[in-house]
A and B are shown apart, each in its own frame.
Chain A
Amino acid sequence: MAVVLVDAGGTNIGSVRYALQRLGTDAELTADADAIRAASHVILPGVGAAGPGMRRLREAGLVDVMRGLTQPVLGVCLGMQLLCERSEEADTECLGVIPAPVRRFAEAPGLRVPHMGWNGLRVTSTHPLVDGVRDGDCAYFVHSYAVPTGDWSLAESEHGVPFAAIVAHRNFMGMQFHPERSASLGAQLLRNFLSL
Protein backbone atom coordinates (compact mmCIF):
# COMPACT_ATOMS: atom_id res chain seq x y z
CA MET A 1 0.00 0.00 0.00
CA ALA A 2 1.35 3.42 -0.94
CA VAL A 3 -0.68 6.26 0.50
CA VAL A 4 0.06 9.78 -0.66
CA LEU A 5 -1.00 13.12 0.72
CA VAL A 6 -1.36 15.69 -2.02
CA ASP A 7 0.79 18.62 -0.97
CA ALA A 8 -0.92 21.65 -2.40
CA GLY A 9 -0.09 23.89 0.53
CA GLY A 10 -2.95 23.16 2.94
CA THR A 11 -1.99 23.70 6.54
CA ASN A 12 -3.47 20.51 8.02
CA ILE A 13 -1.22 18.23 6.02
CA GLY A 14 0.96 17.54 9.03
CA SER A 15 -2.04 16.64 11.19
CA VAL A 16 -3.45 14.20 8.62
CA ARG A 17 -0.05 12.64 8.20
CA TYR A 18 0.34 12.16 11.95
CA ALA A 19 -3.14 10.61 12.14
CA LEU A 20 -2.11 8.07 9.50
CA GLN A 21 1.12 7.39 11.40
CA ARG A 22 -0.91 6.62 14.51
CA LEU A 23 -2.59 3.94 12.39
CA GLY A 24 0.79 2.61 11.32
CA THR A 25 0.73 4.07 7.80
CA ASP A 26 3.47 6.36 6.61
CA ALA A 27 2.04 8.56 3.87
CA GLU A 28 4.29 10.38 1.46
CA LEU A 29 3.65 14.09 1.11
CA THR A 30 3.94 14.91 -2.56
CA ALA A 31 2.97 17.19 -5.42
CA ASP A 32 4.51 14.84 -7.98
CA ALA A 33 2.00 13.69 -10.60
CA ASP A 34 3.60 10.28 -11.13
CA ALA A 35 3.75 9.52 -7.41
CA ILE A 36 0.09 10.50 -7.07
CA ARG A 37 -0.98 8.36 -10.05
CA ALA A 38 1.00 5.40 -8.73
CA ALA A 39 -0.41 5.53 -5.20
CA SER A 40 -2.88 2.99 -3.86
CA HIS A 41 -4.75 5.68 -1.90
CA VAL A 42 -4.73 9.44 -2.42
CA ILE A 43 -5.70 11.97 0.24
CA LEU A 44 -6.35 15.61 -0.57
CA PRO A 45 -6.28 17.60 2.65
CA GLY A 46 -6.95 21.29 2.81
CA VAL A 47 -7.60 24.23 5.02
CA GLY A 48 -8.42 27.71 3.90
CA ALA A 49 -10.34 29.00 0.93
CA ALA A 50 -11.48 27.27 -2.27
CA GLY A 51 -9.95 29.82 -4.67
CA PRO A 52 -6.37 29.57 -3.38
CA GLY A 53 -6.84 25.79 -3.00
CA MET A 54 -7.70 25.35 -6.68
CA ARG A 55 -4.98 27.80 -7.69
CA ARG A 56 -2.37 25.73 -5.87
CA LEU A 57 -3.57 22.57 -7.64
CA ARG A 58 -3.43 24.35 -11.01
CA GLU A 59 0.04 25.75 -10.36
CA ALA A 60 1.24 22.27 -9.37
CA GLY A 61 -0.23 20.91 -12.63
CA LEU A 62 -2.45 18.55 -10.66
CA VAL A 63 -5.98 19.39 -11.83
CA ASP A 64 -6.16 16.80 -14.62
CA VAL A 65 -4.09 14.35 -12.59
CA MET A 66 -6.65 14.46 -9.77
CA ARG A 67 -9.59 14.21 -12.18
CA GLY A 68 -8.09 11.14 -13.84
CA LEU A 69 -7.45 9.09 -10.68
CA THR A 70 -9.13 5.69 -10.42
CA GLN A 71 -7.86 4.52 -7.01
CA PRO A 72 -9.64 5.53 -3.77
CA VAL A 73 -9.35 9.30 -3.27
CA LEU A 74 -10.32 11.06 -0.05
CA GLY A 75 -10.81 14.82 0.27
CA VAL A 76 -10.72 16.20 3.79
CA CYS A 77 -12.56 19.42 4.71
CA LEU A 78 -11.64 21.92 1.98
CA GLY A 79 -10.21 18.94 0.10
CA MET A 80 -13.70 17.43 -0.06
CA GLN A 81 -15.12 20.71 -1.36
CA LEU A 82 -12.42 20.86 -4.04
CA LEU A 83 -13.62 17.47 -5.34
CA CYS A 84 -17.08 18.96 -5.98
CA GLU A 85 -18.25 20.94 -9.00
CA ARG A 86 -18.31 24.53 -7.99
CA SER A 87 -18.02 26.46 -4.73
CA GLU A 88 -19.91 29.60 -3.86
CA GLU A 89 -16.71 30.69 -2.14
CA ALA A 90 -15.50 33.36 -4.60
CA ASP A 91 -17.50 31.40 -7.25
CA THR A 92 -14.70 28.90 -7.75
CA GLU A 93 -14.76 26.09 -10.31
CA CYS A 94 -13.54 22.96 -8.54
CA LEU A 95 -12.39 19.52 -9.75
CA GLY A 96 -15.93 18.35 -10.54
CA VAL A 97 -15.41 14.67 -9.75
CA ILE A 98 -18.28 14.63 -7.27
CA PRO A 99 -21.43 16.07 -8.90
CA ALA A 100 -22.31 18.31 -5.96
CA PRO A 101 -22.29 22.06 -5.33
CA VAL A 102 -20.66 23.81 -2.35
CA ARG A 103 -22.74 26.51 -0.71
CA ARG A 104 -22.27 28.98 2.11
CA PHE A 105 -24.30 28.32 5.25
CA ALA A 106 -27.28 30.67 5.07
CA GLU A 107 -27.41 33.38 7.71
CA ALA A 108 -29.99 32.60 10.37
CA PRO A 109 -30.60 33.87 13.88
CA GLY A 110 -28.56 31.94 16.42
CA LEU A 111 -26.66 30.07 13.71
CA ARG A 112 -22.95 30.64 14.03
CA VAL A 113 -20.70 30.58 11.01
CA PRO A 114 -18.10 29.09 10.86
CA HIS A 115 -19.74 25.85 11.95
CA MET A 116 -17.10 24.95 14.49
CA GLY A 117 -17.11 22.07 16.91
CA TRP A 118 -18.33 18.52 17.44
CA ASN A 119 -21.50 17.54 15.67
CA GLY A 120 -23.34 14.25 15.37
CA LEU A 121 -23.43 12.15 12.20
CA ARG A 122 -26.39 10.30 10.73
CA VAL A 123 -25.48 7.52 8.35
CA THR A 124 -27.75 7.56 5.28
CA SER A 125 -26.16 5.00 2.94
CA THR A 126 -24.40 1.69 3.21
CA HIS A 127 -20.77 1.96 2.13
CA PRO A 128 -17.54 0.40 3.44
CA LEU A 129 -16.24 3.90 4.25
CA VAL A 130 -18.87 4.29 6.99
CA ASP A 131 -18.57 0.79 8.44
CA GLY A 132 -18.88 0.88 12.21
CA VAL A 133 -20.18 4.46 12.31
CA ARG A 134 -23.23 4.79 14.52
CA ASP A 135 -25.84 7.52 14.38
CA GLY A 136 -24.93 10.21 16.87
CA ASP A 137 -21.18 9.63 16.70
CA CYS A 138 -19.52 13.04 16.81
CA ALA A 139 -16.95 14.46 14.42
CA TYR A 140 -15.02 17.74 14.61
CA PHE A 141 -16.08 20.31 11.99
CA VAL A 142 -14.67 23.72 11.10
CA HIS A 143 -16.13 25.25 7.95
CA SER A 144 -18.28 28.04 6.55
CA TYR A 145 -19.26 26.35 3.28
CA ALA A 146 -20.99 23.00 2.96
CA VAL A 147 -22.21 20.44 0.44
CA PRO A 148 -25.97 19.89 0.48
CA THR A 149 -27.26 16.38 1.02
CA GLY A 150 -27.88 14.36 -2.13
CA ASP A 151 -27.17 11.11 -3.94
CA TRP A 152 -23.53 11.57 -2.94
CA SER A 153 -24.23 11.57 0.84
CA LEU A 154 -23.10 8.67 2.99
CA ALA A 155 -23.64 10.53 6.26
CA GLU A 156 -25.27 13.83 7.12
CA SER A 157 -24.98 16.33 9.89
CA GLU A 158 -27.05 19.38 10.70
CA HIS A 159 -26.28 23.06 11.25
CA GLY A 160 -29.48 24.96 10.70
CA VAL A 161 -30.01 22.73 7.68
CA PRO A 162 -28.87 19.17 6.98
CA PHE A 163 -25.65 18.95 4.99
CA ALA A 164 -23.42 16.19 3.66
CA ALA A 165 -20.76 15.16 6.19
CA ILE A 166 -19.35 12.17 4.29
CA VAL A 167 -19.71 11.81 0.53
CA ALA A 168 -18.78 9.29 -2.14
CA HIS A 169 -19.11 9.17 -5.90
CA ARG A 170 -17.32 6.36 -7.74
CA ASN A 171 -13.77 6.26 -6.30
CA PHE A 172 -13.94 9.83 -4.96
CA MET A 173 -14.84 10.32 -1.29
CA GLY A 174 -14.89 13.20 1.10
CA MET A 175 -15.24 14.10 4.75
CA GLN A 176 -16.33 17.62 5.61
CA PHE A 177 -15.00 17.29 9.16
CA HIS A 178 -11.44 16.58 10.26
CA PRO A 179 -10.99 12.84 10.85
CA GLU A 180 -7.49 13.58 12.13
CA ARG A 181 -9.09 15.59 14.94
CA SER A 182 -12.19 13.46 15.50
CA ALA A 183 -10.79 11.12 18.15
CA SER A 184 -11.62 7.42 17.80
CA LEU A 185 -14.36 7.97 15.21
CA GLY A 186 -11.86 9.71 12.95
CA ALA A 187 -9.36 6.89 13.34
CA GLN A 188 -12.08 4.36 12.42
CA LEU A 189 -12.99 6.29 9.28
CA LEU A 190 -9.37 6.64 8.15
CA ARG A 191 -8.89 2.92 8.77
CA ASN A 192 -11.98 2.23 6.66
CA PHE A 193 -10.58 4.36 3.84
CA LEU A 194 -7.20 2.63 3.94
CA SER A 195 -8.85 -0.77 3.69
CA LEU A 196 -10.74 0.11 0.49
Chain B
Amino acid sequence: MLPSAGKETWNASVNEEQHEHLVESNAILLDVLRDQVGTLGVKRGCDMGTCGCCAVLIDGEPRLSCLCLAKEAQGTQIVTVEGLADGHHLHPIQQCFAEAGGSQCGFCTPGFLIVSAALLDENPEPSRDEIKCAIEGNLCRCTGYQQIVDAVEMAASMKRNGAIPPNPTDPKSDPHPLGPDDPSLPPGSSK
Protein backbone atom coordinates (compact mmCIF):
# COMPACT_ATOMS: atom_id res chain seq x y z
CA MET B 1 0.00 0.00 0.00
CA LEU B 2 0.96 3.61 -0.57
CA PRO B 3 2.82 5.68 1.89
CA SER B 4 0.14 8.09 3.01
CA ALA B 5 0.19 10.93 5.43
CA GLY B 6 -0.05 9.98 9.07
CA LYS B 7 -3.52 9.77 10.51
CA GLU B 8 -4.85 11.90 13.31
CA THR B 9 -8.10 12.17 15.15
CA TRP B 10 -10.36 14.81 13.76
CA ASN B 11 -13.52 16.04 15.34
CA ALA B 12 -16.09 18.65 14.58
CA SER B 13 -19.78 19.16 14.87
CA VAL B 14 -21.48 18.43 11.58
CA ASN B 15 -25.13 19.43 11.41
CA GLU B 16 -25.25 19.61 15.20
CA GLU B 17 -23.90 16.12 15.62
CA GLN B 18 -20.43 15.51 17.03
CA HIS B 19 -18.22 13.53 14.67
CA GLU B 20 -14.86 11.97 15.33
CA HIS B 21 -12.81 10.31 12.63
CA LEU B 22 -9.29 9.18 12.01
CA VAL B 23 -8.17 11.27 9.05
CA GLU B 24 -4.94 11.77 7.19
CA SER B 25 -2.91 14.74 8.30
CA ASN B 26 -3.36 16.44 4.93
CA ALA B 27 -7.02 15.56 4.47
CA ILE B 28 -9.25 18.02 2.70
CA LEU B 29 -12.51 18.84 4.44
CA LEU B 30 -14.58 17.98 1.36
CA ASP B 31 -13.16 14.46 1.31
CA VAL B 32 -13.73 13.97 5.00
CA LEU B 33 -17.32 15.18 4.74
CA ARG B 34 -18.13 12.99 1.76
CA ASP B 35 -16.14 9.86 2.48
CA GLN B 36 -16.11 9.69 6.25
CA VAL B 37 -18.87 11.82 7.73
CA GLY B 38 -21.17 10.74 4.90
CA THR B 39 -22.71 14.09 4.06
CA LEU B 40 -22.90 13.38 0.35
CA GLY B 41 -24.98 16.50 -0.22
CA VAL B 42 -21.68 18.36 -0.28
CA LYS B 43 -20.74 18.13 -3.95
CA ARG B 44 -17.42 17.88 -5.71
CA GLY B 45 -17.68 19.89 -8.90
CA CYS B 46 -14.28 21.25 -9.85
CA ASP B 47 -12.27 20.50 -6.70
CA MET B 48 -10.38 23.72 -7.33
CA GLY B 49 -12.44 26.46 -5.73
CA THR B 50 -14.28 27.70 -8.80
CA CYS B 51 -17.70 26.08 -8.85
CA GLY B 52 -18.78 26.50 -5.23
CA CYS B 53 -20.69 23.19 -5.19
CA CYS B 54 -18.78 22.14 -2.08
CA ALA B 55 -19.71 25.14 0.06
CA VAL B 56 -20.47 24.48 3.73
CA LEU B 57 -20.97 26.73 6.71
CA ILE B 58 -18.03 26.70 9.06
CA ASP B 59 -18.96 28.49 12.26
CA GLY B 60 -21.72 30.20 10.35
CA GLU B 61 -19.61 31.38 7.44
CA PRO B 62 -19.84 29.90 3.95
CA ARG B 63 -16.54 28.32 2.94
CA LEU B 64 -15.25 26.18 0.12
CA SER B 65 -14.68 22.76 1.63
CA CYS B 66 -12.54 21.69 -1.34
CA LEU B 67 -9.91 24.26 -0.40
CA CYS B 68 -10.10 23.76 3.32
CA LEU B 69 -7.73 21.50 5.20
CA ALA B 70 -9.78 19.32 7.50
CA LYS B 71 -7.43 19.98 10.35
CA GLU B 72 -8.13 23.68 10.14
CA ALA B 73 -11.82 22.99 10.61
CA GLN B 74 -11.04 20.95 13.70
CA GLY B 75 -13.49 21.65 16.52
CA THR B 76 -15.72 23.89 14.42
CA GLN B 77 -19.45 23.85 13.87
CA ILE B 78 -20.06 22.72 10.31
CA VAL B 79 -23.41 22.90 8.57
CA THR B 80 -23.95 21.19 5.24
CA VAL B 81 -27.00 21.30 3.01
CA GLU B 82 -28.35 18.34 4.96
CA GLY B 83 -28.41 20.51 8.05
CA LEU B 84 -30.43 23.41 6.67
CA ALA B 85 -33.86 21.90 7.15
CA ASP B 86 -35.43 21.63 10.56
CA GLY B 87 -36.49 18.01 10.53
CA HIS B 88 -38.83 17.81 7.59
CA HIS B 89 -39.49 21.55 7.63
CA LEU B 90 -37.48 22.99 4.81
CA HIS B 91 -35.52 26.15 5.34
CA PRO B 92 -37.25 28.98 3.45
CA ILE B 93 -34.33 29.11 1.04
CA GLN B 94 -34.84 25.43 0.19
CA GLN B 95 -38.55 25.86 -0.30
CA CYS B 96 -38.03 28.88 -2.55
CA PHE B 97 -35.32 27.27 -4.67
CA ALA B 98 -37.84 24.57 -5.45
CA GLU B 99 -40.71 26.95 -6.06
CA ALA B 100 -38.89 29.56 -8.10
CA GLY B 101 -37.02 27.15 -10.33
CA GLY B 102 -33.69 27.91 -8.71
CA SER B 103 -32.70 24.29 -9.06
CA GLN B 104 -32.69 22.41 -12.35
CA CYS B 105 -30.18 19.59 -12.38
CA GLY B 106 -29.61 20.32 -8.72
CA PHE B 107 -25.90 19.62 -8.55
CA CYS B 108 -24.85 23.17 -7.75
CA THR B 109 -27.89 23.68 -5.53
CA PRO B 110 -26.33 22.66 -2.19
CA GLY B 111 -23.60 25.27 -2.65
CA PHE B 112 -26.02 28.00 -3.62
CA LEU B 113 -28.28 27.14 -0.68
CA ILE B 114 -25.45 27.37 1.81
CA VAL B 115 -24.25 30.69 0.45
CA SER B 116 -27.75 32.12 0.24
CA ALA B 117 -28.74 30.93 3.69
CA ALA B 118 -25.68 32.69 5.10
CA LEU B 119 -26.56 35.84 3.18
CA LEU B 120 -30.07 35.89 4.61
CA ASP B 121 -28.70 35.49 8.12
CA GLU B 122 -26.52 38.50 7.55
CA ASN B 123 -28.83 40.62 5.47
CA PRO B 124 -32.58 40.02 5.78
CA GLU B 125 -33.45 42.24 2.84
CA PRO B 126 -30.76 41.92 0.20
CA SER B 127 -31.07 43.76 -3.10
CA ARG B 128 -30.67 41.82 -6.34
CA ASP B 129 -27.16 43.22 -6.67
CA GLU B 130 -26.27 42.15 -3.16
CA ILE B 131 -27.56 38.67 -3.92
CA LYS B 132 -25.46 38.55 -7.06
CA CYS B 133 -22.36 39.54 -5.14
CA ALA B 134 -23.04 36.85 -2.56
CA ILE B 135 -23.38 34.09 -5.15
CA GLU B 136 -20.58 35.21 -7.46
CA GLY B 137 -18.40 32.34 -6.29
CA ASN B 138 -20.93 29.70 -7.33
CA LEU B 139 -21.32 28.34 -10.81
CA CYS B 140 -24.65 27.23 -12.23
CA ARG B 141 -24.82 25.86 -15.74
CA CYS B 142 -28.57 25.29 -15.94
CA THR B 143 -30.51 28.27 -14.72
CA GLY B 144 -28.63 31.30 -15.95
CA TYR B 145 -28.82 32.46 -12.31
CA GLN B 146 -31.97 34.53 -12.83
CA GLN B 147 -34.33 32.14 -11.09
CA ILE B 148 -31.73 31.62 -8.36
CA VAL B 149 -31.74 35.32 -7.61
CA ASP B 150 -35.55 35.21 -7.71
CA ALA B 151 -35.48 32.34 -5.22
CA VAL B 152 -33.22 34.18 -2.79
CA GLU B 153 -35.40 37.27 -2.99
CA MET B 154 -38.48 35.18 -2.39
CA ALA B 155 -36.86 33.41 0.56
CA ALA B 156 -35.80 36.70 2.10
CA SER B 157 -39.34 37.92 2.05
CA MET B 158 -40.63 34.60 3.34
CA LYS B 159 -38.16 34.73 6.19
CA ARG B 160 -38.98 38.33 7.04
CA ASN B 161 -42.65 37.51 7.17
CA GLY B 162 -41.99 34.54 9.38
CA ALA B 163 -43.76 32.20 6.98
CA ILE B 164 -43.00 28.54 7.52
CA PRO B 165 -42.68 26.18 4.57
CA PRO B 166 -45.23 23.40 4.57
CA ASN B 167 -44.28 20.12 6.14
CA PRO B 168 -43.96 17.55 3.40
CA THR B 169 -45.08 14.83 5.78
CA ASP B 170 -48.52 16.41 6.15
CA PRO B 171 -51.25 14.24 4.63
CA LYS B 172 -51.27 14.32 0.86
CA SER B 173 -54.34 14.43 -1.32
CA ASP B 174 -57.14 12.12 -0.31
CA PRO B 175 -58.04 9.82 -3.20
CA HIS B 176 -61.49 9.57 -1.72
CA PRO B 177 -62.39 13.16 -0.95
CA LEU B 178 -65.54 13.97 0.94
CA GLY B 179 -68.38 14.99 -1.30
CA PRO B 180 -68.45 18.62 -2.26
CA ASP B 181 -71.06 20.92 -0.80
CA ASP B 182 -70.29 23.30 -3.59
CA PRO B 183 -69.42 21.08 -6.48
CA SER B 184 -67.23 22.45 -9.13
CA LEU B 185 -68.77 23.39 -12.38
CA PRO B 186 -68.06 20.73 -14.91
CA PRO B 187 -66.92 21.68 -18.35
CA GLY B 188 -69.89 22.38 -20.54
CA SER B 189 -72.12 23.83 -17.86
CA SER B 190 -72.98 27.49 -17.98
CA LYS B 191 -70.77 29.99 -16.24
Q: Are A and B physically bound partners?
A: no
